[in-house]
Amino acid sequence: MISDAQIRALAVFFYFAFQDERLAELATVRSVVAIKSRAITNTEDPIDLQAAIVATTFKVWNEYKKKIRSTQSSVSQSGGWILPHNVDLGPWRQFRKEAPDEEFLLMIWSQISKFSDEAISRGLGLTIGTVRHRVGRGLKRLGAAIV
Amino acid sequence: MSEKDFEPLKPLPRQLSKFLAEEMLYDAISQNLDPSREAALQEFLQTSPETVAIQNQMSSARDYCAQLSETQVSEPFLARLSQMKSPYQRVVDTLAWSKWPDTLRWTIEALVVAGLASIVVIFLWPYISQYAPTRSQEVVLVEVDKPQVSASEPKEEEAAVVANESEAPAISISANTELKEPVVKSELPKAPVAPETAPVEPPPPPPKPEPVPPPVTVVAEEKPAPRESGQKPARKGELYRAVMTLDNIDIVTEQITTMLVGFGAEKAGDVKLGWRKPSGSYYHFSLPDQNYDAVLAQLQSFGPVRISKEPHWRVMPEGKIRFILDVKDAAATEANQE
């Protein structure tokens, strides 16, 4: 069984990863079905659960990133996502355009989805140091885009 | 020199490079640095405004991401996502046997059982049938007694009573067979049509106007005597038909019956000799062929005789002929003509 919180985490990840509501919905559905069929969420360890979600989303991202039609965002206020009030997605779009995939994906998992560095490293098969290094670089790049 | 001459070296203060300082910035803002490194970094930051700017940018980015992390998903959208199933799961749910209508399930089950039974019968019947009890395909038409007969009886008697294959089931009777009753009354070829009315018993015979010829002893001869009447003896497969029209039908019937019996006649049909019918009397008999002329002469003494011979499928034993005599009542005949 997959909880609503986990479904929300998947939806938010793909929203910021694709910046395309249609593609984000498709990827979210694909991830939900994959997690349900593999019974990934049966684990009781939260680290393992986060690692499983990281692995699944990374796999689905690789499947659907080829369908990204343009770098322009395609989001609206009438979609299924509700952004905080007065949040500008400009810096994020700038950051997404300039950063490599592994950098902004790690930023989403680490800074937006609030997954632990250990879970991210376990889900992607990387060392914790590598994860923190890339997150640091991502913060620098995003910070420069904000300024 | 003693140990007092040597003083341990004091550690030199760690000095971070810009590269190392920038690498430790993320650990610093996420509060993952140990105290010594934290102190070293803070000391470096006091000498590098650029690194401080980078640290501020990273802090801003973290705050920005914290705002983005507050993004929510609408409830309808969340509900729709949670109900999503894989195509395989959708197919499985659609084809789930338990969700099919009861009528459809029973029909399919019946078809499957019927199909399996048909397959078993088709492919396994040849093996099963050999263990099944079989019935004899012989049909018993009639039970007959088989008396002992001598070897001299000719085989031609086998054909004495033979059913017409085209009209009735074939019944082969051997030479040793003697029928108790007529085999199949409706199937054997009949003699000329017998009247349907019940036979009428003749009245007591009146005084005989003519002397009754004495009974003639039939002498069995190997070869029949030559005949003077001009009629050849009946061969096998032939029938003699005779028609007479006489008065006093009751009297002459008795006389003719007695005469025929005297010459060895035996009834060959279903009715007795001289069976009475409204228009006359009827005789169907077999007769030794050597007595043919004598019988004919006796009949002619009663009155004119019209006799004919016709082929017939029924073959009589050697030395026997078959006769049908129809004696019509003259009075009845005149009444019908009027």
Q: Using the predicted structure, report yes or no on whether residue B197 has a pLDDT greater than 60.
A: no
Cβ–Cβ of A112/B72 closer than 8 Å?
no
Q: What percent of chain B has pLDDT over 90?
A: 33
Find the helix or strand (DSSP H, E) in which B20 lies. Answer: helix B18-23
* pTM (predicted TM-score): 0.49
Cβ–Cβ of A146/B85 closer than 8 Å?
no
A-chain CB neighbours of B52 within 8 Å are none
Cβ–Cβ of B58/A136 closer than 8 Å?
yes
Helix axes A46-64, A117-124, angle to 10 degrees: 50
Q: Where are the alpha helices (DSSP H) in chain A?
A: 4-18, 21-38, 46-64, 90-98, 101-107, 117-124, 128-146
A-chain CB neighbours of B74 within 8 Å are 80-82
Averaged pLDDT, B272-282: 91
Task: Report yes or no: B287 and B260 within 8 Å, Cβ to Cβ.
Answer: yes
Find the helix or strand (DSSP H, E) in which B320 lies. Answer: strand B320-329
Burial readout B32-52 (b: 16 or more C-beta within 10 A, e: otherwise): ebeeebeebbeebbeeeeebe
A-chain CB neighbours of B65 within 8 Å are 107, 111-112, 142
B-chain CB neighbours of A147 within 8 Å are 57, 60
Q: How far apart are CA B279 and CA B252, in angstroms?
A: 14
Torsional sign, CA B329, B330, B331, B335: positive
Identify which of A32, A92, A144 has the shortest CB distance to residue B84. A32
- In one-letter notation, the amino acid at residue B137 is Q
The closest alpha carbon to A83, from B67, B76, B91, B105, belongs to B67
Which three-class secondary structure state does DSSP give residue B282?
strand
**B76 in A contact zone (CB under 8 Å):** yes
pLDDT value of position B96: 78
Identify which of A11, A33, A135 has the shortest CB distance to residue B85. A33
Least confident of A94-108, B130-144, B279-293: B130-144
Shortest alpha-carbon distance between residue B89 and chain A (Å): 9
Helix axes B292-302, B249-262, angle to 10 degrees: 160
Identify which of B66, B71, B81 has the shortest CB distance to residue A15. B71
Shortest alpha-carbon distance between residue B80 and chain A (Å): 9
B-chain CB neighbours of A4 within 8 Å are 78, 82
Please give chain A's pLDDT, 147 residues, in tens.
678 888 898 999 999 999 888 889 889 988 988 887 766 656 677 888 889 889 999 999 999 988 877 655 566 655 688 888 888 889 999 999 999 998 999 999 999 999 999 999 999 999 999 999 999 999 999 999 987
CB atoms within 10 A of CB B198: 9
Interface A-B, measured as beta-carbon pairs within 8 A, has a size of 114
- ipTM comes to 0.91
Summarised one tens digit per residue, pLDDT across range B56-112 is: 999 999 999 999 999 988 888 888 887 776 666 777 777 777 778 888 889 999 999
Q: What percent of chain B has pLDDT over 70?
A: 64
A-chain CB neighbours of B56 within 8 Å are 143
